[in-house]
Amino acid sequence: MPESKLRFLVDVGVGKKVEVWLKENGYDVKTVRSIDPKAKDAEILKIATDESRMVITMDKDFGELVFKSGKSHAGVLILRIEDAKGNEKVELIRKILQEYEDKIKNRFCVFQDGRLRISG
């Protein structure tokens, strides 16, 4: 397995199917569910940063933490997909990683309206 594989911290709202798929596909995954399902976003971001993990979340508040509060991060992927089922989320993550894995490390990314925006 290539060393450059991303490491993830998966937020509670993303769901177990994505967690399982990432693990099955060789990614190093930790879940907020297993650490503290009630963890605050700032705590989640700190854990992820300390462990060089990209946060995968459905929570747009991470944008405020990074851009308004200037919190450091090791990458954030916000999925703005309302009412998506677990299998749809898995398919989306698969596509994003297939196309962008080498471009999203330590970047702030938002998937919305069928496209991925990657910034700083």
Within a domain: 69: yes
User: What's the number of domains the chain is made of?
Assistant: 1
Within a domain: 81: yes
Within a domain: 119: no
Sort residue 76 into left (φ over 0), alpha (ψ -120 to 50) or beta.
beta
Within a domain: 1: no
Q: What is the pLDDT along the chain (120 residues), one digit of tens a residue?
A: 444 589 999 999 999 999 999 999 999 999 999 999 999 999 999 999 999 999 999 999 999 999 999 999 999 999 999 889 999 999 999 999 999 999 999 999 999 999 999 997
Q: Domain of 80?
A: 7-114
Q: Which amino acid is at 74?
A: A
CATH of the domain at 27: 3.40.50
Within a domain: 98: yes
